[in-house]
Amino acid sequence: MVFLLVLMMFSFVVNRVSLSFSDVDTDDGDDIYDIQVLAPNGGEKLVAGQKFEISWFAGSAIEYVKIEYSPDEGKTWRIIANDVKMQDTYANYVWKVPCSISDKCELKISDAYGMRYDYSFGTFSIIDNQPPKLSVSVEKESLWPPDHRMVNVGLKYSVVDNCDPGPKVVIKVTSDEPTASDTSSGGAKYSPDAIIKKDGTILLRAECAGDGDGRVYQIIVIAQDDSGNGASTKVLVRVNKKEGRIAINSGQFYDATAKN
Helix or strand or coil: residue 123? Answer: coil
The per-residue pLDDT for 185 is 79
Tens-digit pLDDT string for the chain (260 aa): 444 333 334 333 333 232 222 233 334 456 888 999 999 999 999 999 999 999 999 999 999 999 999 999 999 999 999 999 999 999 999 999 999 999 999 999 999 889 999 999 999 999 999 999 999 999 999 999 999 999 999 999 999 999 999 999 999 999 999 999 888 777 888 899 999 999 999 999 999 998 999 999 999 999 999 999 999 999 999 999 988 889 999 999 999 999 99
Q: Which CATH architecture has domain 133-255?
A: Sandwich (2.60)
Q: What's the pTM?
A: 0.78
Q: Could you tell me the residue ranges of all domains in the chain?
A: 32-127, 133-255
- How many of the other CB atoms lie within 10 Å of CB of 22? 10
Q: Which fold has domain 32-127?
A: Immunoglobulin-like (2.60.40)
Helix or strand or coil: residue 168? Answer: strand
Is 133-255 in the same CATH topology as 32-127? Answer: yes
The per-residue pLDDT for 30 is 60
β-pairing, 35-39 with 142-143? unpaired
The per-residue pLDDT for 189 is 87
CA atoms within 13 A on the CB side of 187: 3
Q: Are 84 and 65 in contact (CB under 8 A)?
A: yes
For residues 104 and 40, give the distance between their C-alpha atoms in angstroms, rounded to a whole number: 12
Q: Are 209 and 177 in contact (CB under 8 A)?
A: yes
The per-residue pLDDT for 125 is 99
- Give residue 114's identity as a one-letter amino acid code: G
For residues 259 and 214, give the distance between their C-alpha atoms in angstroms, rounded to a whole number: 19
The per-residue pLDDT for 7 is 38
The per-residue pLDDT for 52 is 99
CA 248 to chain centre: 39
For residues 170 and 254, give the distance between their C-alpha atoms in angstroms, rounded to a whole number: 17
